[in-house]
Structure 1
Amino acid sequence: MQHIDPPSFDARDVYITCIGNARPRTRERLEAFTEAVADAAAVYEAAAHGQALHTLTGLAAQPSTLPDREALEGVYTDRMVRNHSPGRRIYEALRGTTDEAGRRRDNRCPLCGEGLVTTLDHHLPKNKYPLLSVVPVNLIPACRDCNTGKLATVPINAGDQTLHPYFDDFSHYPWLRARVRRPRGNEQLSVKFFVSPHPDWGDTLTERLRTHLKVFDLDYRYSLLVSSHIASTNHDLTIMPTNTIATWLAHKAEGWRYQGNPNTMGYALFKALASDEWYVNGGWRSPTAKANPN
C-alpha cells in the first residue's frame, strides 16, 4: 500500500495514439468515442479525488451496445498491450518495469508492497467501464497476484473501494498491524495482519482499508511470506541477550519502512514481534534453540 505519483499522460492523447493505426472504417468508429473517453477520464479523476468512485454507475452504462463496449475493451488489449501496437510505449511507461535502457527495475507493487510489477491493473475493470480501458489514471502498475486476485471487483458503496495508489496516501500513520499467533502443539508460530486505523479516521475509511486487505487477500499472502523472516529472526536471537531483543526487533522494523511508508508487511511483522512479551521472553525458541541469558 504505497502512494505513487499519477501518470502525466493525457487521456485523450493516449486514446488517439492507441487507435492511430486502425483501419479506416474501424478508426472512424473508434474516433467517435474520443470525447466520451476524455469526459469519462475527467469524471473519474474528480470522483477519485473525492473517494467516490463507487458513484460512477452512470459511466458504467456507457456505451450501451455490446459491440461498442467490446471495441473499446479491445483498444487496451489489441492497441496498447500487444507488442508493436501504437500504445505499447505508453503501456510500458505506465508499468514502469524497465528503465530507458531496457533494464529491469525493482518496481514494487503499490497495492501489496511485496510483489514486483509485471502488469497493469484496471482499478475500475474495463469490462464494466469500457470508456476507461486506456485512461491512464485508471491503470495501476501491479504484480500478477494483485491483478488476478482482484479480478473485476466493482465498489458498490463508499466502503467497498480499495485504496487507489494515485489518489490515496495514508502513509503518515501505521494502520497496517499484526499480532503474533502462539503455536499450539506442533504448529509453527504465525502472524495475523489486520487494520488499526487512526482514532480520527471515520468508519468509511476504516472499511476501505479492510476492503483493501480482503480484496487482495493480503492477510493470507503476507502470512505465507513471513515464515522465512521469522525463522531467520529466531536464529539471530539465539546469540542475543534477552534484554536487548525487543529493542533490536523494533529497530529492525524501521528498516522495513519503504520510502518512509510504515504500512509494509515487514514493518507490521517486526513491530508485532517486538511488542509481544511472550515472544520476546522466549517464545521465539525452537525446541533445539538455546537461550542466551546474559
Structure 2
Amino acid sequence: MSARASWDICTGASRDTQNNEGLGSKLREAGKTAEIAAKTYRAAATESTLHTLKSSDFQISGISGQKVSSIVYESGMRGGAGRAIWEAVMDGRDVDLCPMCRHTEVSELDHVLPKKAFPALCVAPDNLVGICDYCNSKKSDITSEDASKVLLHPHFESASKERWLAAEVIPGSIGALRYFVRSPSCWEDVFTDRVNNQFEFLDLATRYGSRSQNTLGGMRKVFTEQLKKNGPTGLRAFLKSLASSHHANDSNGWEAVAYDAWAENDDFCHGSFNGKTIPKTGANQLHMENYRITWLKDGCRHESAVCYSAAAAGDYAPLKRAEEGVSDVRIILDK
C-alpha cells in the first residue's frame, strides 16, 4: 500500500460544509503533499537519518497537525475506510512480540514520527508500526535531533544479525540476572549508542530480568532433578541445550540469554538456584550476607535492594563501576 493510496482512502469521506471552509477538499488535495512527504521519509529511514527531518516540512498547508491527525488518522483510518490498512499494519508481522523490546505482545499502533508534529505522515504505512502498550507509552511523542538517541526503526533497521544481548548471574543471588548490551566489534559507534540508548530507555534490563526470574521459578524443580540425576556437568549441558534451542528462534531473545548465563555460572550449576550451593574446593567462606552496594547515578545515590556476602560484593562492585553513568561505587555494611 502506497502512502498516496492510504491518504486518498482515509480522506475520501471528508466533507465540505458551510462551517469548515472546504476542509474536505483541502485534505483530499493534499494527497500529493503526503506522497512527497512519504518519499522523503523513506529515504531518510533507509539512510538512518530520521533525526534530520524537520516537523515544519511535513505540514498540511492551512490545517493544524492536530486537526489533520484527528480527521485523517482517527476518523479516516482507525474508524473509517482506512481501517483495513490499520489492521494490515497490525497483523503484517512475523511474530507477535513487540519489535521495539522483544518482550511484550503487540497491542497498539505507533507513529514512528508523531502524527500531530508530522501530519503529512499520519497514515503513511512506513511511519506506522505495531508495538506493545509499554513501549508506546514510554516512547510517546518523543523525537530527537541527536542520531545516537533515535530508536531503531523496525521496518528499516535491525540489530538481530549479530548477538549483542548478554546477561550474568548477580553475585550472591540465587540466579537473578543482570542483562546488558555486549556490542559486536563490527557495529559503528552511532549504532552502538542507539542500541544502548534503546536498551536503557525501554527499561529492558529490568523487564528481561523480571521475565527470567519468572522462568527460573517455573524451571527450578526441573533444574533440581537434573542436578540430582546428572550433577553440575549434566545440568550445565542441559542449560546449554535449552539456550541453543531458544537461540535458534531468536539469537537475542532474553530467554536464550538467560539459559546461557545460568550455564556459565558455576554456583548456579552447583545448586545456588535453590539457595543451597554444593561446596566446591577452595570456595570462599566469607558467606555472611551483610553488605550492600551503593553508587551515584544522575546525581542521586542508589543502594542495592539485596545484601551480599563480602566475596559477592567484591565481585559485583567492579561490574557496577563498569556501567555507563555510574560513579562512586561503595561497599557498606548493612545497618
Q: In structure 2, what residue type is equivalent to 1:16?
A: D
Which residues in structure 2 correspond to 1:131-280 (within 5 Å)?
A: 131-183=120-172, 189-240=175-226, 241=230, 242-257=232-247, 260-280=249-269
Where 1:192 maps in the other structure, the secondary structure is: strand
- Greater per-residue strand proportion: 2
Structure 1 residue 155, shift from structure 2 partner: 2.4
Counterpart of 2:87 (choices 92, 97, 104) is: 92
Tell me the CA shift for residue 96 of structure 1: 0.5
Matches within 5 A, 1:14-163: 14-24=6-16, 25-57=22-54, 59-63=55-59, 67-74=63-70, 75-82=72-79, 85-96=80-91, 107-163=96-152
Higher relative contact order (CA 8 A, sep 6+): 1
Q: Percent identity?
A: 26
- Bigger radius of gyration, 1 or 2? 2
User: Which is worse superposed, 122-131 or 11-20?
Assistant: 122-131
Are the aligned partners of 2:60 and 2:120 in contact in 1 as well (CA < 8 Å)?
Answer: no
2:206 is paired with a residue whose SS is helix
Runs of 4+ in 1 over 6 A off after TM superposition: none
Please state how far the C-alpha of 1:227 moved relative to its aligned partner.
Answer: 1.4
> What is the number of residues matched between the two proteins?
269
Secondary structure of 2:66's counterpart equals helix
Report the CA distance shift for 1:127/1:180 in structure 2 as closer, same or farther (over 3 A). farther
CA–CA distance in structure 1, aligned partners of residues 44 and 82 of structure 2: 26
The alignment's C-alpha RMSD in Å is: 2.4
Q: What does the per-residue CA deviation read over 1:211-265, in whole Å, with 9 as the maximum and x for residues that have no partner?
A: 211222212222222211112232211111221122211211123237x431111
CA contact (8 A) 1:14 1:87 kept: yes
In structure 1, C-alpha distance between the alignment counterparts of 2:95 and 2:50, rounded to whole Å: 30
Following TM superposition, by how much is the alpha carbon of 1:60 offset from its aligned partner in structure 2, in angstroms?
A: 4.5
Q: Residue 95 and residue 117 in structure 1: after superposition, are their counterparts in 2 closer, same or farther (change >3 A)?
A: same
TM-score computed with the length of structure 1 as normaliser: 0.83
> Equivalents in 2 of 1:96, 1:290: separation in Å?
49
CA pair 64-15 structure 1, distance change in 2 beyond 3 A: closer
Q: For the residues of structure 1 that align with 2:180 and 2:116, how far apart are their CA atoms?
A: 31
